[in-house]
A and B are shown apart, each in its own frame.
Chain A
Amino acid sequence: MMANRKFFRNLVLFLLTIPVFLFIFLPVLWLFMASLSTQVELFTVPPHWIPQHATLQNYLDIFFPSLAASSVPRTFAVSLLNSMKIASAVTLICIVIGSLAAYALVRIPFKFNRTIQMGILGIRMIPEISLVLPLFIIASSLQLINKPIVLILTYLSFALPYAIWLMAAYFQTIPKELEEAARLDGCTRLGILFRVVMPISIPGLVSTAMFVFLLAWDEFFFALIFTNTLAAKTVPVAIAEFVGRYAVNITGMMAGGILAAVPPVLVALLFQRYIVSGITAGAVKG
């Protein structure tokens, strides 16, 4: 009787998970199927849910762009590389200068410490739209539009406070006794930071790097404003440009979309265990 009831409960719960799985996976599967289709097959009514002439051509065109391919795969080949470069640079800068700042805020008592902490928390919430005009005016006058440096610098406006905040939360979990012991042995603050704290903070650094990378990879607004040439575009801007145009190679765009989603999804799945603590500590995904 008990076993029966338990089985019944499990069955009901399992049945409840099915609509959730469908809601999560159907849209992505449809995107994936479209990326494997030929242009002709995609334009059939009713749709072929599973392409009868599945092809990897759309992906091959992006990885090995030839002049024969349409502008879509050629744009993706360039913009994926741009996104990769910019997101990596932002991540590297944030990790290096952000973790130094976080350590000072968490472990060194000094005047204004609290003020700066609160300031950084508040600044993290300022929307991009409120920063974009001055940044655009100065970037235009310095002729920095379309230069990767302008995206790297402007991305720091949201990524750096976020990184400082995440690293501060991590440093707080490191026992003070470790540092005090090193201090008694005559280590300086900087010595403690680099020889004691940093080596045991690698998990924190990794998860912070992951979040910053996701943010930078996802960013659209600044990239839309600060780039207008093919050579400078990031993936989101490339996708936005193709969307809604019938004349373009839609299947190529779908393959580009899948490729744009692969790095963040892979990173997020690999570092799954950091995600929840990270999003709770960071709380705002840009």
Chain B
Amino acid sequence: MAVNSKSLSKRHFSLRKQDARTAWLLLIPSLAVILGVTLWPIIYTFVLSFFYAPTGIHQVRTFIGLTNYLTMLKDQTFWETIGRTLYFTGVSVGLELILGLAIAKLIHSHPWGWKFLRFSLIIPWAVPTIVNGAMWRWIYNADFGALNGLLMQLGLIKHYIPWLTLPNMAMPLVILADVWHMMPFVALVLQAALATLPGELEEAAAVDGANAWQRFWKIRIPLLRPAILVALIARTVDAFRVFDIVYILTNGGPAFKTMTITYLTYLNSFSYGKQGTGAALSFLISLFTIIMAFIYISILYRPEENQ
């Protein structure tokens, strides 16, 4: 018997070893790619952020310690850019969440044509970001745009307005374009979550005399919390690194009014020829992302919510 179980466990052991070998075999192509295009570059970026690194392959790099970070932290432009990026992130994600929740609720009430509404929401989400930007840029156009045409025909404005060159209008208009593009994502996620909620709790509350408003805030919103958090964090990480839509709508203008952190990093790295500063900036963006990712993972893996 003893011999038998020993050989069995030996066999089991070799099976496990074989398993491990198979696992690595299956993983190697992906790990090699990730190592080459993600892991190595992010480490390189981190190292580069401690150097004075002017653009150009043959330029000499000098180690300058934390100078890039310190210069950046003392620079007012940096803090203004961070503020602006947080403004963009907060307002657009906030609007997307409120509108997304309202539309999810609307779809969930099954009005006539609700299936078509759900279907339609996919369109703005699937339109490529750059096409979305080009479309809105043409809508906002100062001389022939639809926004001017529409407001003029409604009698709300007397003459055409160069929307995107107005310092106070540029950011809200960029936000509007982003909301059009990404609000459907939030609405679709929340609608799907609403559809899976059990109805019994609400029925019980209705019997107990809770009105629709109370039922929505006291029962449905708490049950929706995991879905809301997933959508919120996904959108926050995404919005904080906004680049494409700013590039195409305003190029960061007018007068830096739509300059976001990724755009500033891009300019430092590729226009101002300051790769070291660019690396330091981009590492800070990563840091923010990593913090958000940790929050995200801890939410996803909280056992009681992982059903």
Contacts and interface: CB of A to CB of B under 8 A. Distances in A.
Do A and B share a complex? yes
B299 to A, nearest CB: 11
B252 interface: no
Contacts of B19: 108-110, 189
Contact of B20 (A111, A116, A140, A267): A111
B72 to A, nearest CB: 15
A172 to B, nearest CB: 12
Size bracket, chain B contacts: 35 or more
A257 B152 contact: no
A236 B241 contact: no
B274 to A, nearest CB: 11
Given A14-B112, A101-B31, A126-B286, A141 B57 contact: yes
Interface in A50-88: none
B111 A17 contact: yes
A190 B113 contact: no
Interface stretch (B5-13, B83-91, B125-133): B125-133
Contacts of A229: none
B119 A257 contact: no
A13 interface: yes
A140 B55 CA distance: 12
A118 B294 CA distance: 10
B111 A10 contact: yes
Contacts of B247: 220, 224, 240
B149 interface: yes
A187 interface: no
A264 B292 CA distance: 28
Interface stretch (B63-71, B135-143, B199-207): B135-143
A30 B296 contact: no
A272 B122 contact: yes
A76 B221 CA distance: 46
**For the complex, would chain B's binding face be called helix, strand, loop or mixed by DSSP majority?**
helix
B41 A239 contact: no
Given A14-B111, A225-B270, A276-B189, A235 B117 contact: no
Contacts of A285: 125, 185, 234, 238
B130 A220 contact: yes
A281 B27 CA distance: 21
Given A160-B33, A267-B126, A275-B122, A254 B138 contact: yes
Contacts of A244: 137
Interface string B223-250: 0000100100110011001011001100
Contacts of A217: 128
A100 B180 contact: no
B22 A133 contact: no
B124 interface: yes
B131 A133 contact: no
Contact of A127 (B130, B278, B286): B286
A239 B286 contact: no
A120 interface: yes
Interface string A4-31: 0000001001101100110111011011
B34 interface: yes
A253 B134 contact: yes
Contacts of B248: 239-240, 243
Contacts of A118: 297
Contacts of B188: 275-276, 279
B130 A239 contact: yes
A258 to B, nearest CB: 8
A156 to B, nearest CB: 5
Given A122-B290, A132-B269, A140-B57, A214 B37 contact: no
11 contacts: A14-B111, A17-B112, A17-B114, A31-B138, A46-B153, A100-B26, A260-B131, A261-B128, A269-B123, A276-B188, A283-B233
Interface of B: 16, 18-20, 22-24, 26-27, 29-31, 33-34, 36-42, 44-45, 48, 57, 103, 106, 109-114, 117, 119-131, 133-139, 143-146, 149, 152-153, 160, 180, 184-185, 188-189, 191-192, 227, 230, 233-234, 237-238, 241, 243-244, 247-248, 262, 265-266, 269-270, 275, 278-279, 282-283, 285-286, 289-290, 292-293, 296-297
- A-B pairs, top 9 by smallest CB distance, nearest first, are A13-B111, A134-B44, A101-B30, A236-B130, A268-B126, A104-B26, A47-B149, A97-B29, A134-B41
Given A43-B143, A269-B126, 10 more contacts: A28-B123, A108-B23, A109-B19, A120-B34, A131-B45, A133-B48, A135-B41, A160-B33, A240-B247, A243-B133
